[in-house]
Structure 1
Amino acid sequence: MDWDKLRIFHAVADAGSLTHAGDKLNLSQSAVSRQIRALEESLGAILFHRHARGLILTEQGELLFDATRSMSKRLEAAAARIRDSEEEVFGELRVTTTTGFGTLWLAPRLPKLYEKYPNLKVDLMLEERVLDLPMREADVAIRMKEPSQADLIRKKLMNVQMRLYASRDYLDREGEPEDIADISEHRLISQNTRSAQVAAGALLTQHLMTFNPRSLLTVNNYFGVLQAVLNNLGIGVLPDYLAQDFPAMVRVLPDIESAPVPTFLAYPEELRHSQRIAAFRDFIQDEVMAHRKQLRELEQV
């Protein structure tokens, strides 16, 4: 199969237009059209339905586009590896993690990474959906469970536990609970149990709900829960990695916490020798070690 024709087909399928694909490829619309017709003839199949608003892939076209999209991502990965210098760390690094961890723990620490590697470009993708690393949706992930795919390099970073926190002003005003049953006298702030979150956090929240909190505020991410706690609204269910960076919060009912949530760093096998990946991995491991040490010190106070 002609690689050049496949390249042109991929551009047309991606753009949905002969004209837009031609602009991208620096080819005339007629030249692009000829290459698509030639590819269709060689395959004995129609790849596009043509109509006034553009082009729509046929079933056969969708199959071919899936293949060229996979090839394109693999080629991007190979190009990234080739561009990686053995002595310098530069270029784009696409990092995916959850909204809470990325916003509240990772992003505040990135200045240290940029100080060391000023030519690195980090694309931070924060969402609860698990992106496909082998398919190059991201280069490296920090996930709140062990990745299941076999073709990933993974390293456990730490355990995270959900605990109860409140501001000192709130506790001075409303009193500090001495027993879990005292939750009935307070406003509970948590992620909505129907929102995407780790199971351990949802189970702890469901357990606390059985004690009939006086009032309830639910948010669909931990950033919102944190802001509510810092603004004296109630007792929040939050990950313990926040205790280090938000000393204004006071831990409440220290014997109440979720099961440990293992947190992993993962990246594709094919990026094993990437200098960008190595730099980010070492940075994260150093920050996690410092975080663990400070968390232990806080617990001993």
Structure 2
Amino acid sequence: MNWESLRFDWTQLRAFLATAEEGSLSAAAKALGLTQPTLGRQVSALEERLGLALFERVGRGLMLTPSGRELLPHARAMGEAAARLTLAAAGQAQAIEGKIRITASDVFSVYHLPPVLERLREAAPRLEIEVVATNDLRDILRREADIAIRHVRSTEPDLIARKVGDGTAHFYASRTYVARMGRPQSRADLSHHDLIHFGDTDRLLERLRPLGIELGPENFRLGSENGLVAWEMARRGLGILIMADDVAVQTPGMERLLPEMEAVRFPVWLVTHRDLQSSARIRLVFDILADALGRG
């Protein structure tokens, strides 16, 4: 790959990076404030310059080719460098200080955000960061938070949403529960076990049915709106709970059940108000979150 040619046109590389992160030309154009034809020409120009196909169409979206995947980390590195350059210039008139509110679920706030906060403290020690740990969708439009981490995409036109990754989840139970109640050997076996819910039980049941799991309210006799409380119930051996895999591996004594079952997948989106992108501190926090969570 001719990496030397990339240094001549950051605009084309930025178009590639946005398209890779957003998954479609239309979403990338919206994120960059460009028209879709303009963005498409920039991506095509980069492909022509490199002599490589960087994307292939899958349904209504775009998927990176092997060449595109090879280019992506280099593009991200250049994007971070460009962001630092912009922030350095903006710092003459706009200090990286003040208060920022980040909202995420209680589980996400505990298990994912602390390492990112360390990076933020190093990058901008004068920032005041408040984490709003809630499973409610805080209203960015009303400025109840500056940046939200969500598992559903926001469609409001005044919001900027960037998908930074996908999480996976499985059924987990403590070793004490398995020793007492036995290990389910099939999805059907789950109907004979105690399960724990957090959030909307009806919505959970709807998500499980396409996976071939038929459960009813009688299986969910314990639960909480608070994910940390529900996880502690499971850790204490009170039942089986669906939990993100990267959370479960951090919790000793928890065992994954039905290992052959496909994962329950959920997206991770970063959301902020379009107007807030003019704030240097919001851009800094948004970009650091995107990079850290994307690598996680």
What TM-score do you get using the length of structure 1 for normalisation? Answer: 0.57
Say which SS state the counterpart of residue 280 (structure 1) adopts. helix
What residue in structure 2 maps to residue 260 of structure 1? 265
- The match for 2:279 is 274
| SS of 1:101 mapped into structure 2 | helix
Percent identity, aligned pairs only, is 29
Please tell me whether the aligned partners of residues 162 and 239 of structure 1 are also in contact (alpha carbons under 8 angstroms).
yes
Contact 1:140 1:266 in 2 (8 A): yes
Match of 2:166?
159
Q: Deviations over 1:177-200 (max 9, x none)?
A: 2112222443211225359xxx4x
Q: How does 1:1-301 map to 2 (within 5 A)?
A: 85=91, 89-107=96-114, 109-191=116-198, 193=200, 199=203, 201-204=204-207, 207-210=213-216, 213=219, 216-256=221-261, 259-291=264-296
1:171-220 CA distance string (max 9 Å, x none): 2343322112222443211225359xxx4x3424674524964x732222
Q: Which secondary structure does the structure 2 equivalent of 1:250 belong to?
A: strand
Q: Which amino acid aligns with 1:269?
A: R
What is the distance in 2 between the residues matched to 1:211 and 1:97? 27
Distance 1:185 1:259, change over 3 A: closer
TM-aligned CA deviation for residue 254 of structure 1: 2.8
C-alpha displacement of 1:164: 0.5
Q: Which runs of 5+ in 2 are unaligned?
A: 1-89
Amino acid at match of 1:281: F
Distance 2:191 2:288 in 1: 43
Which whole-Å CA distance do the structure 2 matches of 1:219 and 1:136 have between them? 27
Size of the aligned set, in residue pairs, is 204
Amino acid at match of 2:163: K
Opposite residue 245 of structure 1, the aligned amino acid is: Q
Give the CA RMSD over aligned residues. Answer: 3.1
Q: Following the alignment from structure 1 to structure 2, what is the Cα–Cα distance between the partners of residues 204 and 134?
A: 28
Contact 1:145–1:263 under 8 Å retained in 2: yes
1:166 and 1:236 in contact (8 A); partners too: yes
SS at match of 1:225: helix
Which structure has the bigger radius of gyration? 1
Structure 1 residues 210 and 98, CA, compared in 2 at 3 Å: closer, same or farther?
A: same
Question: CA-to-partner distance for each residue in 1:23-64, whole Å, 9 max, x for gaps?
Answer: xxxxxxxxxxxxxxxxxxxxxxxxxxxxxxxxxxxxxxxxxx
Native 8 Å contact 2:205 2:215 kept in 1: no
Show the counterpart of 2:76. none
